[in-house]
Structure 1
Amino acid sequence: MKFQLDEPQGGNSISRHDGQCVWVNGQPHRQSLLVPWRGEVQTWNVKRFEELGEAHFQQILTLKPELVVFGSGAKLRFANPRLYRGLIEARIGIETMDLAAACRTYNVLASEGRAVLAALLIDDSAPAA
């Protein structure tokens, strides 16, 4: 009988989330973050949805994902496409979801071995869950 781990070997996994914190590989993160399928989790220096700018999405390009799952916070909000034009021009797909859906979707895609990146906005102006 063959046994396999539920977590991808050497990859990142989101184990838990609420409106104010996301746990990646068992470690809590209370600031917005970028979670690549492999490698180091990075702080994403954005505190509120309204602060999003082109530079925030340009930071994603350096990690070279094939797909970005953008968790827009506790509720679904769509960023202006001009902000992520660099991703579109680099032929990197981007899907927008609320934080909970983004975490679930990221885990599924990462477990399939996809080069996915979760860009998770933990909005400090949102009420605690």
Structure 2
Amino acid sequence: MKLHANASSKLNVFTGYGLDYVNVNLVRHQGSLVVTPEAVKPWRPAGFDDLQEQDFTALLELKPEVVLLGTGSQLRFPHPRLTQGLLHAHVGVDAMDLSALCRTFNILVGEDRRVVALVLFN
């Protein structure tokens, strides 16, 4: 699915997605990713079942207000112990399917929020 980007922004936004990819600013990415308004980089877990607590606590250095966890085509919730470090730091964590992640991230970037998107495909 294609999403429409604001051409005047230099910040990252999702411009499309599919079963095994996302487009960020029209550039196709596959595999697990961390996406911020300023950066796109690989993320360690290969999939949802590979998530570990340190995958989330490492995000604290990014100083996010909210972390969006995209769990592929199906909504899945991580065990609360995995995200407890973020929650103790008063960082909101929201799990959603990939399509909701893309839309929500774009809205939050447009509101100038410190958002981090975590992209998983399975």
TM-score normalised to the size of structure 2?
0.90
Task: Give, as a single letter, the amino acid of the residue that structure 1 aligns with 2:11.
Answer: G
Q: Distance in 2 between matches of 1:7 and 1:78?
A: 33
Q: Give CA-to-partner distance per residue, 1:11-47, whole Å, 9 cap, x none.
A: 111000011001111111111101112x221111111
Match of 1:59 in 2: 58
Shift of 1:122: 2.1
Counterpart residue type for residue 67 of structure 2: V
C-alpha displacement at 1:7, in angstroms?
A: 4.7
Over the residues paired in the alignment, what is the CA RMSD in angstroms? Answer: 1.4
- Alpha carbons of 1:65 and 1:112: their partners in 2 closer, same or farther (altered >3 Å)? same
Report the AA paired with residue 78 of structure 1.
F
Deviation >3 Å, runs of 4+: none
Report how many residues are paired: 118
Q: Output the CA distance in 1 between the equivalents of 2:12 and 2:6.
A: 12
SS at match of 2:76: coil
Structure of higher CA gyration radius? 1
Which shows bigger deviation, 52-61 or 14-23? 52-61
After the TM superposition, which residues 30-69 of structure 1 pair with which residues of structure 2 at under 5 Å, given as runs? 30-37=30-37, 39-69=38-68
Shift of 1:111: 0.9
Q: Which runs of 5+ in 2 are unaligned?
A: none
- Structure 1 spans left out of the alignment, 5+ residues: 124-129
Instruction: Tell me the percent identity.
Output: 39
